Structures are given as structure tokens and as C-alpha cells.
Structure 1
Amino acid sequence: MRTGLATVLVLLGCLLAAPAVVAYVLVDEVTDREAYLEAVTPLADDPGVQGAVADQISAALDEKVPGQARQLVDTSIDKFVASDQFRDAWVRLNTEVHPQLVALLRDEGGGSVAVEGDAIVLDLGVVADDMKQRFVADGVPLANRIPAVDAKMQLVSGPAVSQLVPAFDLLEKLSVILPIAAIALIVLGLVASARRGMTLVVTGFGLVVAMLLVVLAGFLARSQITAKSPAPEIAGPFYDAITQRMSIVVWVICGLGGVFVIVGGIIARRTPRAAPEPPRRNYAYRR
């Protein structure tokens, strides 16, 4: 009876472990500025991101640059997005974007990240300003007379945003409660079990299955977001950057589940089984 109840408790804990990991790690990754910047800074070296930014700035300059300077401008843009100067501008842009992204996910909005029409739009004004300085250094004709560049990049479609905002709100509310509940149920089940080795094996398998479901859900979410994004070449890397730490935690917990299975199996084999009681015999009353 005790072991059956303990098994139910650890399975409930494993069931909660999946959303608990997503809620705790993902919310912390998005809302903590240092964690966010650490995640997205390497995107400055991603060829897909560099190409998308270069295309948007080039398109924004289409009517503002003389035709004879077009080739020189495009060459200068390509050099810029591959330089350390672009990396610095990218960090500054995301430092400015972070509080606005959090506000957007909390349905507050405003700033360089906003919903315009049917998509989340990223304003590349900071990057474009540094780009104009590069034009001057590269000798682009009349570079200092180029007006302000209104370069924007569409990241995620509006319908996806309508799903992200309530989902993030729910995750933020449960980001503390779920991990505590999952850990408490698993520990309580292990403590209460009369056959701790077998319960530990069940816990290990439960954690592995739960984390694999998180991996599957993450894959499907990425596919949906990139499919609905006007710029999948940048939406995909952004998604990977934001969820990278969560992926690491998921695989660590998978490994921990495997350890539980092995240790539980060893304990179960070494635990002597109680000898069955001999059957009681009813002796007939003799006079």
C-alpha cells in the first residue's frame, strides 16, 4: 500500500517536472537582463542574422543612396555586419530591447520591439546609426548627408504573439510554485516508499520521459514559430538562443533520471525480500 502511494506521488512529481523546468528556466532566461544578453550576443556572429540585418538596412537605404554608390554601399554593409563594430551595436540594441521585450510579453508593449500589423517588429535604428559611421569611414559618396535610416525587421507573426503572451503570463506565475511542488512530491514519494529501490527506478524513468516530452514540445514550438515568422532566418536562431539553457537543464535532468534508474536497480537487487509467511493450518477439534 505504501509503495503504491509512493509511486503515485513520484509520478505526479515527474509529470509536473516538465512544465516546472520550462517555467523556471525560460522565464529566468527572458526576464534576467544578463542572462538574456549572454544568450543573444553570439547571434551577432550568426551568418543568417548578419544576412537578415544587412538585407533590411540595404532595403531601407534603397531610395536614399545614389545609384552610382549602390555597390559601394552594399559592400560596406557586408563588411559592417561581419565586424566587431556590428557586434557592439548588436549588444547595445539588445540591451535597449530587453526591457521592451519583457514588457511586450507581459502585454505592456512599446519601444524598439512592438507589434505592427501582423508581426513583432524589431527597430534596427541603433545598428543603422553605426552603419552610417561606417559609410563615412569607407568613403561612400555623400554618406554624411544620408538621412535617418528607418530599418525594421519582422520577427514573429501576430497570431504567434497572441499565443505567446498568455503562455508567458502563465509560466511566469507558475515559475516558482511548479518546481517546488515537483521536488516535494518526488522526495515525499521516495521517503514514503517501502521499496525505495523500485520507486527510485520509477522516478528515473518518469523524469526521462518527462524531459523527452519537453524536447519534443520545444521542437514543435520552434517549427511553428519559424513557419509563421516573416524572417525565419533570424527567428530560428533567436529561439535557439533563448532556449539553449533550458535544453541543457533538460538533458542534465535526463542524465539524472538515468542515474536514478541505475542506483534504484542496484538497491532493489540488494534489498532482501521478506520471506513469505507459512500458511496457517486449521486443525479440526478432536475430542
Structure 2
Amino acid sequence: MDHPPGPPFPARFPALRGRYHPPAATPLAPGAPPPFPGDVRTFLSAVLITLVALLVPASAVAYWADRELGDADRYTAAMSPLAGDPAVQGVVVTQVTRALSGQIDAGPFQGGVDALLGEALRSFAGTPAYRTAWDAANRAAHAAFLDALTTGHGDAVTIDLAPVTAQVKGELVADGVPFADRIPVSHISVKVMEYDDLGALRKGFRMLQVAGVWLPVLTVVLAATAIAVAVRRRRAVMATGLGVAAGAVLLWIAVYVCRRLTLDDLPSDIDPRAAGAVYDALTAFLRTAAWVILAIGLAAALAAWVVGRVRRTP
């Protein structure tokens, strides 16, 4: 049987009359926008974290192209360890010996002179003077390297070995080697990398140089915004840290895949071991950055998780 509705809540309990007040909505500050619903804020935070994960490798590559490849000192420092690489040394010895033997006419002694040149170059390749000459050659090659990537002249990365030739000639003359004074100090270019479609690489390099400053800043701003708009900020910090770590993994994968593609497309006259050593030297910054970014992301996620566990502990 239906009963008629009773009186309002305060009327049924006279003792509470005047004490009961329904909760009132918190007034907004003058000019303040209405708050986002929780679902919208969570979705927006997730979208921003995804963008951060994608922008982390792009930011690292942009910074690398602008500050590492674009700077002569850093480029030379990156290439300097290759002076001790056996594959690169073999290319240098072969190219210089071949070029010099064709310019020295020793008559019936030509074979002995060629063998002597090769032995002298192999011995010279392990000396501090060779490293000095190698650094000088790479510093000179940096301008040509940037020219190939910016102005569109040439389709390969080459190193002029004239400083190495000059050092070898001086060593041989000082040792009293016959015909050493006839060695011409000419420009001998060693091709270490070549691209069939350098035009696309140039466009990408220009874009990365432009983005080298603002893209990392944008990534940090988006990460901070993703945390600020989240409903549960501790979880947002954890998710952002994992997103940054995922971006570091993407960076490492991109470096590895590009290495495989670069070496697979090499012409037959380029030693793949030497080209691989050059690629590894130029991308050493990216590999190190990937590990550092991975550590930062995982540390942030772990710190947020630990804070949550501590707060739950009674």
C-alpha cells in the first residue's frame, strides 16, 4: 500500500531544525574558467604523455644534429677515437698507399717502394703524430660535411688525408728512405659514407637544426602540463616517467635501424666495417642520451611509486 510522502527532513526531526544545511557548491573565483570534468582531464593528460613519449627521441636527434654535428670541436672529438680503429686505419693505409704509389716512378724498384710505403703507413698509424694528423683532417672535413648536408654540394662524406700524407713524408725523409722526397703532398680524399638520396637527408637535417632548441623545451613543457592537468598527479608523474623511458627505447631502436639501413645501402667500394665505425662514432651521443633519458624516466616513475607506497603505510 502506498503511503503519502512525509514532511521534509528537518520537519521530521524538530531537534535538528535550523542545524541542517544542504552542501553548497564552492563559488568560482571571478573570471575563473569552469573546471574540466575528471574524465576530460585524465584523457588530456594521457594524450600529452603519449606526445612526450614520441617527442623524446625527436628532441634528442634535433639537439644532436644542431649541437653535435653542427659544432666543429664536437664533431672532431667524436671522430677522434676512429684514429685507433683497425678498419678505419686499413682504409687510410690502402687509400694513401694506392694514391702515392701511382705518383712515384721508382722504375724497377717500384714494388719495393710500394711495400715500403705500406709498411711505413701501417707503422705510422699507431703513433701520436698520426692521431694529430687525423684530427686535423677531420676538422678540415667538417666544413665539407656540413656543406654536403646544408648547401647540397656532393653526395658523400669524405676525409682529406693530405695532413696524414705530409706527416708520413716527413717521417720517411727523416729516416733516410729513398724516394721519400718525391712523395707529393696532394689531396687524397677517402670516402667513408655515401648516400643515394642525400636530398631527403638534407631536408631532414635542416628541420632538425631548426628544431634543435625549441623541441626539447616543448617536450619538457608538455610533460609538466600532463602532470598539472591530471586528476591524480602522482600517477601522472609515474605515467610520464614511463613515457619518457619508452621514448628513450624508441630512440635506441631508431639509431639501430638507421645503422642497418645505412650499411645495407653502401656502395661496393666502401668498407662496411669502416663505415659502421664512423656511424657509431657520430651517433655515440644519441646512444648515451638514450641511456640517460631511460634512467631519468624510470627514476621518476619509481620515485612516484615509492611515494605512493609510503603514504599508504599506516
TM-score, scaled to structure 1: 0.85
**Aligned twin of 2:68:** 29
Highest RCO, 1 vs 2 (Cα 8 Å, sep ≥ 6): 1
Task: Give the Cα separation in 2 of the matches to 1:185 and 1:166.
Answer: 26
Residue of structure 1 equivalent to 2:134: 90
Counterpart CA distance in 2 for 1:27 and 1:103 is 14
**Structure 1 residue 167 and structure 2 residue 204: aligned?**
yes
The 5 Å alignment of 1:34-113 reads: 34-65=73-104, 66-109=110-153
Give the structure 2 partner of residue 127 of structure 1. Answer: 164
2:288 pairs with 1:251 = no
More displaced stretch, 127-136 vs 260-269: 260-269
In structure 2, distance between residues paired with 1:262 and 1:143: 65
Report Cα offsets for 1:69-101 as digits up to 9, x if no partner.
222221111111111111111111112122222
Match of 2:188 in 1: 151
Q: Which moved more, 1:154-163 or 1:207-216?
A: 154-163
Aligned residue in 2 for 1:277: none
Opposite residue 205 of structure 2, the aligned amino acid is: F
Distance 1:161 1:54 in 2: 28
SS of 2:151's equivalent? coil
User: Hey, what's the Cα distance between the residues in 1 that align with 2:194 and 2:67?
Assistant: 24
Distance change >3 Å, CA 243–CA 57, structure 1 → 2: same
**Equivalence for 1:227:** 264
CA apart distance, 1:195: 0.7
CA distance in 1: counterparts of 2:265 and 2:192, whole angstroms: 9
**How far off its partner does 1:103 sit?**
2.2
CA 1:121–1:97 in structure 2 vs 1: closer, same or farther (change >3 Å)?
closer
| Alpha-carbon contact 2:121-2:168 (below 8 Å) kept | yes
Alpha-carbon distance change, 51 to 160 in structure 1, aligned in 2, over 3 angstroms: farther
Shift, 1:127, TM fit: 1.6
- Give the SS at the match of 2:299: helix
Shift of 1:217: 0.9
Instruction: Tell me the alpha carbon deviations over residues 209-259 of structure 1, each in whole angstroms, 9 at most, x when there is no partner.
Output: 111111111011112222333232322222212211221121111011111
Contact 2:83 2:89 in 1 (8 A): yes
C-alpha distance in 2 between matches for 1:192 and 1:270: 24
Residue 249 of structure 2 is matched in structure 1 by 212
| Residue ranges of structure 2 left out of the alignment (5+ in a row) | 1-37, 105-109
- Over 3 Å counting, the alpha-carbon distance change for 1:163 and 1:213 in structure 2 is same
Gaps of 5+ in 1: 273-287
Structure 1 residue 178: deviation in Å? 1.3
1-structure distance, mates of 2:74, 2:296: 24
CA offsets per residue over residues 96-135 of structure 1, 9 Å max, x none?
12222222211254xxxx44xxx44332222222222222
Partner of 2:227: 190
- Structure 2-normalised TM-score? 0.78
> For the Cα contact (< 8 Å) 2:94–2:118, is it kept in 1?
no
Q: Closer, same or farther in 2 for the Cα pair 1:68/1:242, shift >3 Å?
A: closer
RMSD of Structure 2 on Structure 1 (CA): 2.0
Provide the rounded CA distance (Å) in 2 between the counterparts of 1:51 and 1:139. Answer: 25
**Counterpart-to-counterpart distance in 2, 1:120 and 1:101:** 6
